[in-house]
């Protein structure tokens, strides 16, 4: 293990013999769709239980549980990491932890797990990201202290959370800044969005998502000593197993949408990430555990890096994170066979693509957040699972998954195909 920190470049770490065993995710429900009334805790439990089964790892063997969730959207949100752990069957003596790096939080569960294993504090870690954006509340901060007669103030937390007050405007405007910087046109952004939908539909047709998505039904979580938890899907819905945001979309239809952040901008609802609900979970383990249990992990976790960037151009966060990964590991961009760069906004991806001189044929090959959606805390775990599976399918040796982060950060993880 080798750790790295540099105030100008960022922080990073190279790992020895840490593995992503396997994982699973829920389908992603569209905004106010099928999953809209299911708490992020329950979504996390569903994904975590499935990840343990998929990994062939007993819940009794888990040493730590690390969870990501950004928007608190249920009354028991304070207990979310602990409740996911307990209702997943992990022994009550095992501690749980919440991590938060906004859009990079799912990645952070895996990085933190790998560090804990490296420190000798665990052999196996359950890593889960979960988000219900539909349940994001309308709030009245300060009403406990009262308000002027007739002037209560309520805010939409989902909308307000998209406004970076440090940058001085919503995050969508930061992506418009990237578009202006690289002279990215509306047509170029729409073309990329159309490709994301096309690749997502192609992956769906060939059954790629079937291997990572667990079909959902109304169910009851029963754990001795705990109160039962009931999960109810809408009446008449069973075996819910498809991402609801994914749909046939043409370049012509995308071109007719109105810009949402700037009247003469390039970003629309069609070429930005979808607001969705869902959870994704993976199991991370040491080499000793892998050998002892005769498991077949889907990838090796080689290194990770996180960096800060200008908040007004937050979408470029993956650029220095990926460059630092390559510097730490001695690889170059051409050594990387696959990339997953979260599609927060179409212009943001194209900006990263240009700066890094990426081959688009290697990027987001099964569609990205424009097509599938971006459930904030779950995205990093979803991307890590998907790229690890695709590396195996394509017999690619190295893959990098990365995301830009609101406020001006970037995170990236380097995976190796060991199969």
Residue 151 has a CB neighbour count (10 Å cut-off) of 6
Here the tokens at position 161 are: 């959370």
The residue from 103, 307, 352, 363 that is catalytic is: 103
Nearest to 339 by CA among 273, 415, 393, 263: 415
Q: Has 127 been annotated as catalytic?
A: no
The whole-angstrom separation of Cα 370 and Cα 13 is: 30
Asked if residues 344 and 175 have their Cβ atoms less than 8 Å apart, the reply is yes
The residue from 127, 352, 363, 404 that is catalytic is: 404
Longest Cα pair distance anywhere in the chain, in angstroms? 68
Asked if residues 123 and 285 have their Cβ atoms less than 8 Å apart, the reply is yes
Residue 151 contacts by C-beta under 8 Å, 6 or more apart in sequence? none
Displacement of CA 333 from its chain's centroid (Å):
23
Radius of gyration for the chain, computed over Cα atoms and rounded to the nearest angstrom: 20
From residue 86, give the alpha-carbon distance in Å to each of 55, 68, 178.
18, 16, 43
Nearest to 319 by CA among 306, 328, 330: 306
- Whats the size of the chain, residue-wise? 419
Nearest to 190 by CA among 115, 241, 143, 249: 249
Displacement of CA 247 from its chain's centroid (Å):
20
Q: To which residue do tokens 């990430």 refer?
A: 273
SS3 2: strand
From residue 31, give the alpha-carbon distance in Å to each of 119, 175, 289, 300.
40, 22, 40, 34
Residue 168 contacts by C-beta under 8 Å, 6 or more apart in sequence? 312
Here the tokens at position 382 are: 């979803």
| String of DSSP letters for 263-297 | TT-S--SSSB---EEEEEEEEEEEHHHHHHHT---
Q: Has 75 been annotated as catalytic?
A: no
Mark out the alpha helices in 229-378 (DSSP H runs): 251-255, 287-293, 318-329, 346-356, 369-372
DSSP conformational letter for 316: G
Q: Which positions are annotated as active-site residues? A: 103, 404
């Amino acid at each position: 293990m080798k750790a790295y920190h540099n105030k100008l470049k960022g922080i990073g770490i190279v790992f020895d013999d840490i593995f992503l065993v396997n994982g699973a995710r829920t389908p992603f429900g569209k905004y106010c769709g099928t999953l809209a009334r299911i708490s992020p805790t329950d979504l996390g439990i569903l994904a975590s239980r499935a990840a343990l089964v998929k990994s062939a790892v007993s819940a009794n063997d888990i040493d730590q549980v690390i969870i990501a969730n950004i928007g608190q959207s249920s009354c028991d949100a304070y207990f979310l990491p602990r409740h996911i752990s307990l209702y997943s069957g992990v022994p009550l003596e095992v501690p749980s932890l919440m991590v938060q790096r906004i859009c990079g939080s799912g990645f952070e569960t895996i990085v933190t797990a790998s560090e804990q294993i490296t420190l000798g504090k665990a052999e196996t870690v359950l890593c889960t990201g979960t988000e219900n954006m539909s349940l994001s509340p309308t709030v009245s901060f300060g009403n406990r202290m009262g308000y002027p007669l007739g002037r209560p103030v309520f805010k939409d937390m989902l909308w307000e959370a998209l406004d970076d007050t440090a940058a001085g405007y919503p995050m969508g405007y930061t992506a418009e800044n990237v578009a202006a910087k690289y002279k990215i046109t509306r047509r170029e952004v729409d073309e990329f969005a159309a490709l994301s939908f096309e690749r997502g539909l192609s992956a769906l047709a060939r059954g790629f998502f079937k291997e990572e998505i667990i079909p959902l039904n109304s169910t009851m979580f029963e754990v001795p000593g705990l109160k039962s938890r009931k999960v109810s899907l809408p009446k008449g819905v069973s075996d819910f197993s498809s991402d609801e945001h994914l749909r046939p979309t043409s370049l012509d239809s995308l071109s007719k949408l109105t810009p949402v952040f700037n009247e003469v901008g390039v970003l629309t609802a069609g070429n930005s990430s979808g607001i969705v609900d869902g959870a994704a979970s993976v199991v991370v383990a040491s080499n000793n555990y892998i050998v002892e249990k005769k498991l077949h992990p889907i990838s090796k976790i080689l290194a990770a890096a996180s960096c800060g960037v200008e908040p007004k151009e937050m979408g470029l966060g993956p650029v220095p994170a990926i460059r630092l990964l390559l510097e730490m590991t001695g690889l170059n961009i051409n050594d990387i066979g696959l990339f997953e760069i979260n599609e927060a906004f179409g212009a943001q991806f194209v900006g990263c693509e240009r700066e890094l001189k990426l081959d688009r044929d290697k990027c987001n090959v099964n569609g990205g957040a424009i097509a599938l959606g971006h459930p904030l805390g779950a995205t990093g775990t979803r991307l890590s699972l998907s790229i690890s599976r695709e590396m195996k399918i394509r017999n690619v040796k190295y893959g990098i998954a990365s995301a830009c982060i609101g406020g001006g950060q970037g995170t990236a993880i380097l995976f190796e195909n060991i199969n």
